[in-house]
Amino acid sequence: MNKEWSEKNKKMQSLISKEATFKEGIEVLLELRGELFSQIAYIVNTYPEEAFYLMPFAGADGYHSKTLAYSMWHIFRIEDIVAHTLISDDKQVLFAGEWQKKTGSPMVTTGNELKGDEIAEFSKKLDVKVLLDYCKAVMDSTDELLRGLTYADLKRKFTEEDKNRIIDSQSVSTDEDAIWLVDYWCEKDIRGLMKMPFSRHWIMHIEAMCRICNKLCQNARKGTDPIARCGLSCNHCFLKAWCGGCRTAYNTCSDAMNHPGKVCPNTACCLEKQIDGCYECDELAECRRGFYEYDDVNAIKAMAMFTRKYGKKELLKTMDKLHEEHDFEKIQEVLGNDLDEGFRILENTRG
Ligand code: SF4
Ligand code: SF4
């Protein structure tokens, strides 16, 4: 489990267990939920449409066997049902905001009943950007509920009437893979629900989403030219778990993300000049466009100059060697900021 999330979750559990620190515990929970939600928003704003319905771990045992879109739907449908139908006995956010229609979902249930390809098919139907808005609306509404809780509320239990209300809402499928949820929630008190689903349930599914993203990036990288147009080796980039390489739809390079169409200035310029990369350009040494605008990343230009002289294969081999000889994340930690010196280090490493 992600160490920071897990530590914060433990801290929250310990704080809410004492009346004197209960409110502080709620604040920690809200902070944790905010961080987890940022992770989801990052994923939605970064990865291509297909990433949300692909199942790179299909058939595996665990939350990562689902899709990104399903995970989002499932986390927040469960939360919506528990917060509104079970605890507050009022209208779910889904119905109050007509989110089923807006998201394009063919169903209102939690999705536990879906199997195999049904998960991918369901995911394809969802408008993920709108789904993120629904998730945010549910989170905000639950956060308000959490802020209003008192220490005495923690022991509140649920009745047969509460249970029937969930069944009557038809928000949980009667399929055997789903209906158990009703008993599961109703056997808990509010304190138990703060864990599942309001905190731990998020952590488990969001960690699974991260695993899915990492795998999709790994898959995208296969068979793709790993040398970026600016000269960087995507195979050796510190971001590689989260990026499929900058010549793929899974490019998460900040320079690309911050430009229209997610096309960085170096790529745009290369495409205009109809060249494969900056290493084929006569203006390379003096160029200050895109990635070359920053003084502290001359190391990337040194890699481009090295590629121009020795070729891509040599750069990859030399980068492997550099990583064997040094422990580093960002290439500038080894090549430094001076262009000539960086180039010399690469040449010396090549031998
Ligand atoms: S700056 Fe452009 S070419 Fe270089 S790694 Fe980023 S997206 Fe790729
Ligand atoms: S002008 Fe600069 S950004 Fe454009 S191709 Fe040449 S080196 Fe790359």
pTM of the model: 0.95
Which structural domains are found in the chain, ordered by start?
3-214 (1.20.120.450), 223-350 (no CATH)
The stretches in the chain having pLDDT less than 50 are none
pLDDT at 58: 97
Which residue's alpha carbon is nearest to atom 8 within ligand 1? 246
For ligand 1, whether the C-beta of 244 sits within 6 Å is: no
Q: Residue 101: helix, strand or coil by DSSP?
A: helix
CA of 335 to the centre of ligand 1 (A): 18
pLDDT at residue number 79: 98
Rounded to an integer, what distance in angstroms lies between the CA atom of residue 336 and that of residue 332? 5
Q: Of the residues 264, 266, 293, which should be mutated to test ligand 2's pocket, given the most ligand atoms within 8 Å of the CB?
A: 266
Q: Please identify, by atom number, the ligand 1 atom nearest to the C-alpha of residue 263.
A: 7
* Closest ligand to residue 235's CA: 1
Cα(15) to ligand 1 centroid in Å equals 45
Provide the pLDDT for residue 296. Answer: 74
pLDDT at residue 294, as a whole number? 87
294 Cβ neighbours under 8 A, 6+ residues apart? none
Q: Distance of CA 210 to CAs 18, 54, 58, 228, 306, Å? A: 33, 14, 15, 24, 34
Cβ contacts of 274 within 8 Å, gap of 6 or more: none
Distance 228 CA to ligand 2 centre (A): 12
How would DSSP label each residue in 301-327?
HHHHHHHHHH-HHHHHHHHHHHHHH--
pLDDT value, residue 170: 98
